[in-house]
Amino acid sequence: MQNLDEDQMVMLEIQAELFELLTKHTEVMSQAVAITFKTVLDCYVAQFGREGAEKMLETAIESVKLGKHDLNPAIIPKNLLN
């Protein structure tokens, strides 16, 4: 596993907490993910405005197209895996 800096560790801890929350609702996973996405998007618009949210979404689309969000459990620290 690669060495992670503090920001990367915080990101992974938050991701692990979100995954834990979502796995509590596996019977309605699609709805749970949709609600989570909507909530994050609402927060992003509140924090950065519509323009900032649009730029983030454009960046997100490119990032997905480039395969940057495919799950790679090899880089998740073992203490964050449940």
Model confidence pTM above 0.85: no
CA nearest to 8, candidates 82, 80, 66? 80
Domain parsing of the chain, residue ranges: 28-68
What is the separation, in whole angstroms, between the first and last Cα of the chain? 17
Which residues, 6+ apart, have CB-to-CB distance to 71 below 8 Å? Answer: none
Token pair recorded at residue 29: 């996973």
Full pLDDT tens readout for the chain, 82 residues? 467 888 989 998 998 999 899 999 989 989 999 999 999 999 999 999 999 999 999 999 999 999 888 876 666 666 655 5
